[in-house]
Amino acid sequence: MRPKIEITTEMFAKRNEYMVLVSNLTGVPVDDIMGGHRCENISTARQLVMWALVTLCGYSHTQTGILMRRNHATITYAVSHVGGGYYGNKIQHIRKQIQDYYEIKTQSRH
């Protein structure tokens, strides 16, 4: 039997925090990030949020999929594109700003 996937209110809060951050950095509204639009700028913003939740927050692909209302395979695809350099220099500065934000947040907790 599979272990139960745990989703907490803190995880939803973290998702919302990163969605607002990515929205501010990219100019894509939060509603569009959670929506189903497949325009490049919207899907890129959505993938940045997925990447942040997996890479920085340490959530599993399944947990992130539940939080983002997507399949875990979609999360795998997004994380590999953002983290693997698929976008080249196009989003590198945004990814760096998200990482800097994460580091500042984790340092302020200690």
Domain ranges for the chain: 9-109
pTM of the model: 0.92
Each residue's pLDDT tens digit, 67-90:
999 999 999 999 999 988 777 778
Give the per-residue pLDDT at 4: 81
Q: What percent of the chain has pLDDT over 70?
A: 97
User: Using 50, 70 and 90 to split pLDDT, how confident is the model at 33?
Assistant: very high
User: Using 50, 70 and 90 to split pLDDT, how confident is the model at 110?
Assistant: low
Query: Which among 71, 29, 78, 26 has a CA at the least distance from the CA of 52?
Result: 78
Q: Assign domain 9-109 to its CATH architecture.
A: Orthogonal Bundle (1.10)
The pLDDT of residue 48 is above 70: yes
Query: Which among 85, 103, 12, 101 has a CA at the least distance from the CA of 47?
Result: 85
d(CA 67, CA 7): 8
Which of 16-20, 40-44, 62-66, 82-86 shows the lowest mean pLDDT across its residues?
82-86
d(CA 12, CA 110): 22
